Structure 1
Amino acid sequence: MPEAEETAGAPPLPNILIVDDDPAKLIALRAVLAPLGANLVEARSGADALRHLLKDDFAVILLDVRMPIMSGFETAEMIRQRPASEQTPIIFVTAFEQAETNLGRGYELGAVDFVFSPIVPAILRAKVTVFVELYKSQHELKRYRTQLQGLVQERTTALTAINRELEAFNYFVSHDLRAPLLAIDTIAQSLMDNPEVVSDATKDQIMRLRRTSKQMMALFDGMQTLFRLTGGDIRREKVDINRIATEIGAHCQAQEPKRRVDFRVEEGLTASGDAGLVRILLTNLISNAWKFTRDKPQPVITIGSERVAGENRLFVRDNGVGFDMIYAHK
């Protein structure tokens, strides 16, 4: 009997291969296993069993030990030599008086269990049920894995399309928008360098124009940073927070050499993460702290770590104006 076809949304019936040269025993085994609702396939010789295994997969094989021409043990040995069936469970059927002789040989050939004749129907069904249910579970896992792979592929395709759009937009920002702004700023600077050709009122307008231009440039820089954050691969490694924070602090100080900021960084401070992303994060946090302590007579910026709820957390603190914690989640 061929393997049952799989209907839409339903798993296929598991196949059980029954191998015995005695037609009466085949009928008896079929009657015992019929309540399991599986697809029962009969073979009357070892060669016949191997032909079935070339076509179909089986949840379990019931294999009579004593058969002419090719014994059950010889058949099992050949089954185990075929990669597609080497893991298929085999239950040997043997006479009780031969158990001592056959057990060792059977287990050497990969038997998972033995059934002794005369067969007790309840025991046989219980043994076979275990492997039928295992087969069903494996099939379900395979189906879920296939579905998951499909979802992953869909997500990957969508993300690839989004990344292409981001790359195109990033190019547009970098070239088509930035270039005109640079030209405007250059012209404005040139006018400011020639005060005799512009009035005081015009100078004020030019300064406002330059401020707006710089704000737009900063916005574009932020957008490009966002693109790098979302479009690149993340590489986790040990990051020297102390060194990065010190470098950022030195850069801020170089931009405002007349300011005196008490800049404190915890010694030996490290973290696990992407070094590039950590630098971007610290640059934003420290730059904000530097900016919002500008009106303080004695500005203090501290970078350190603390233990919170069993985790080490890094912090950047300052004594600047701060913000209302009601809006912290935003």
Structure 2
Amino acid sequence: MTRPLRILGIETSCDETAASVVLRHENGSGEIVSDVVLSQLEEHSAFGGVVPEIAARAHVEALDGLVRQALSQAGLTVHDVDAVAATSGPGLIGGLLVGLMTGKAIAMAANKPLYAINHLEGHALTARLTDGLEFPYLMLLVSGGHTQLVLVKGVGDYERWGTTIDDALGEAFDKTAKLLGLPYPGGPAVEKAARAGDASRFDFPRPLVGESRLDFSFSGLKTAVRQAATAIQPLSEQDIADICASFQRAISRTLKDRIGRGLARFQERYPTLQTPALVVAGGVAANQVLRATLQELCDHHRFRFIAPPIRLCTDNAAMIAWAGLERMAAGLPSDPISVAPRSRWPLDKEAAALIGSGKRGAKA
């Protein structure tokens, strides 16, 4: 019997340092044999967000040890793996340099092919690792840096249907939390506070609701939260809870409209597909209110709703390793050792940039 393909994955795009070894069996199924993640939460919490220079230094200090730990847990050496996959973008350039250069060094030393992986592709393909999902399917990516609705047609074949025209959803959570004096990261803090709140107290706006295009906007909602908080200062704990609950309600209703239209479009594109699926990925996917909204939508439209385990929704190296394995299995070429990191790297290269473009390329 042919042994499974084995790959070492490295992830350093933001504030998690991660290494993982993942297998791909002959039948196409995947297996995570080691998955090590070191969070930098304490280093950044005092600043209310990620400080790029601190993140890069932390990656330098931790990555070698995490790679050794991941290989040790898998019972392998660098010479035993079939390839190395490292995040090459998008993300913070300092962190990307650390991870990609480490991946290059290991690949050269062990004479293994290198796969420079798009971090977003890692998220896009995770459901195939966890659930064996077949193409095509829809993915909602909701994180600190991205909010996108993407049609996943195949490995390396993506069609962006919607993206944010201003703030990403995770950014809106973080900034709302900071405004209300809640700790970083903002998503879990807002969700926790909202449990004791009255979601009907504030009627916050639902940007772009009713429009046929599938894009998102959260800047106006964030402004409305600031105005409401300013008007009733000083804020009590109940005020904060009510604002958080109303904020989540507005987001939930916004997603219900945006994603509902996306599901309908998918059904028009693939009317004969027996089991259409919506996948949610990214750190914000951990929010239980938003998950419940998406589950309700999928039930209504008769879609399968797939939310990978929370540890695989947030940044991790297992998804990077799996994306490398998918590219290997699809016969896509490995990358030259001269490949450079990219702070901006859209999944859909044909989609127009809605929130900026320049020397580094389209932002999203």
Larger CA Rg, structure 1 vs 2? 1
TM tier, smaller: under 0.3
User: Which one has a larger percent helix, Structure 1 or Structure 2?
Assistant: 1
Q: Which structure has more RCO (C-alpha within 8 Å, separation ≥ 6)?
A: 2
| TM-score normalised over the length of structure 1 | 0.23
